Structure 1
Amino acid sequence: MHEFYENLFTRHQETHDMPSNVRIWEWARNVFRLMFPERNSKKLLSVEAVRATFKIHENELYELLLKSKDCAACDHAKIVRNFFHALPDIYQQLLEDAQAMLDGDPAAKNLSEVIRTYPGFLAISLYRMAHQLWLDDVPLFPRILTEYAHERTGIDIHPGATIGRHFHIDHGTGLVIGETTIIGDYVKLYQGVTLGALSVDKFLAGQRRHPIIEDHVIIYAGATILGGETRIGRHAIIGGNVWLTSSVPAYTTVYHKSQVKFADPKIGL
């Protein structure tokens, strides 16, 4: 038992060489809520209050990075500067994403409803923030953020994926977007879609393993699209439950054809 306790003690020391997952995703959640007051119970009463609150979050990110042993070699100030410099464009992209969800969902009444309640909006928001940190090679933080979104929404987006503007996730439960996926603009994905790899062999790390989805593509529920050589051309429509490991030309519709056999009424059941 002593060896077991010693091992756990060592793991505790190693684990706490960086801030807790809760601290990291709470920081991101606070930035998200500052951008979208529909998610925030606190009302800010002046531009200066907004600016001051952002400054608090800048300092907090710097402290989180500073406390992370895995980020000891990082340029902490540069990472913080790059993130908050990119934030206005991230915000604009998220407004476009929310508008895409409103435009594409007959059940959505207004933009506020999308921002307040749609799991797809929360997932894409945390992804876009995580992706900016990923671009600066910040270790662990991006995965912690997108896995928090995965836990909350059932939507699994790797922070390394590249996702264009006006992105619409409809429902989203069970959606998987792999690390090297590239998604264009005005793409709509339904629940249960998998954009994955043909193989999960470890030697493929660092290589393109996931598909390219061009602009204006719609992929319906349960479709699985695999492989780094697979490209779905612009304006293509991929039907529900389709399994694809090869490319699809632009303006093509692919669907799964089921065979249904009806009982002969003369025979009975």
Structure 2
Amino acid sequence: MSTPLSHWDLDWIVGALRDGRERWQQEWPHPRTLLPLPSQAVLTQVVEALSSALYPTSRVAGDDHDVDGAVARSLEEALEALAKQVRIELEVNQAEGRSAQGPGAPDPAEPGGTDSADLLARARALVQDFASQLPTIRHLLDTDLRAAYIGDPAADSLHEVLACYPGFKAITYHRFAHALHGLGVPVIARIIGETAHSCTGVDIHPGARIGDSFFIDHGTGVVIGGTAVIGNRVRLYQAVTLGAKRFPVDQNGHLVKGEPRHPIVEDDVVIYSGATILGRVTIGSGATIGGNVWLTSSVPAGATVTQAMARNETFADGAGI
């Protein structure tokens, strides 16, 4: 297909972009064939349909009592769309020499590629495995929903939490993303996590392990790193960071990936707004971390950590300068 005529000097621009692609391929080896990536728009629809299947709150057209039928239709549509997106990620993984985990994944030691039909079969098997986790995800979300209702005196009903609370939406997306991350499709998991981030202000890496009855109040600005481990009945307020203290590098100066570098937060911990906790430290069971605290060391069970009291002194006639 010939390039259409243009008034924008496209020959030079297209050539410069080609040079950039070639430099990129030399510096960061990857397949020369342009591959599609999973679609954020499709995955957003998938997660919304899964959420509706887990919590069917709207009336079912034609028959208010056919809730199971509506759930089945939502799941069928969502899982079919998800399988197509998973197939795309598996194709990219294969082209880049990586393999997904989960059912039907080939032995990476075996030579040879996989045709499109095999990739789709693997994608369907992986999505079936994901679908089998939905009842467990629903159970966890029930505990999160109750934790938000019990933990916030402004919540008048469970339905209000379900419909309005950004923290609950963020944890809903995270529970889906975490399951998919564990099955070996990290790009799809990250897309789902970043979709929640963009609409709630809560940034949870899909690798983070979070127990039951988790409540994020208000939510905006919360950051939870990928190797963080959070126990049961933990409550966070806005602008809390569970981050890494440092990023070790290897002998070639490249970041070492996959090492535990984020906090462990044990059961029944409360962390108030603006607190920053960095590194592989442990916040013991029942501890309370006050607002705007900066922590890089572990805290024993039951402890309360607050800011040091600010010193208030009055200076006159140039004293203290």
C-alpha displacement of 1:61: 1.4
Aligned to 2:217: 170
CA distance in 2, matches of 1:218, 1:15: 47
Residue of structure 1 aligned with 2:40, choices 12, 18, 21: 21
Q: Does 1:223 align with 2:244?
A: no
TM-score, reference length from structure 2:
0.75
CA distance in 2, matches of 1:217, 1:14: 49
Which one-letter code corresponds to 1:254 in the other structure?
Answer: V
Equivalent pairs: percent with the same residue? Answer: 40
Aligned to 2:84: 63
TM-score, reference length from structure 1:
0.89
CA-atom RMSD in angstroms? 2.5
Q: Does 1:3 align with 2:15?
A: yes
Q: Quick check: 1:120–1:153 contact (8 Å CA) kept in 2? A: yes
C-alpha displacement of 1:66: 1.9
Q: Quick check: 1:71–1:139 contact (8 Å CA) kept in 2? A: no
Local SS of the residue matching 1:166: coil
Structure 1 portions without partners, runs of 5+: none
Local SS of the residue matching 1:34: helix
Q: Which has the larger radius of gyration?
A: 2
Aligned to 1:203: 255
Aligned ranges for residues 31-180 of structure 1 at < 5 Å? Answer: 31-38=50-57, 45=64, 46=66, 47-68=68-89, 69-72=91-94, 73-74=99-100, 75-180=122-227
CA distance in 2, matches of 1:191, 1:116: 19
Aligned length: 263
Q: Quick check: 2:262–2:279 contact (8 Å CA) kept in 1? A: yes
Q: Does 1:249 align with 2:300?
A: yes
Which one-letter code corresponds to 2:238 in the other structure?
Answer: Q
CA distance in 2, matches of 1:110, 1:15: 49
Query: CA 1:80–1:183 in 2, change beyond 3 Å: closer, same or farther?
Result: same
Aligned to 2:8: none
Q: Does 1:214 align with 2:233?
A: no
Query: CA 1:15–1:187 in 2, change beyond 3 Å: closer, same or farther?
Result: farther
C-alpha displacement of 1:257: 2.3
Structure 2 portions without partners, runs of 5+: 1-11, 25-31, 101-121, 249-253, 317-321
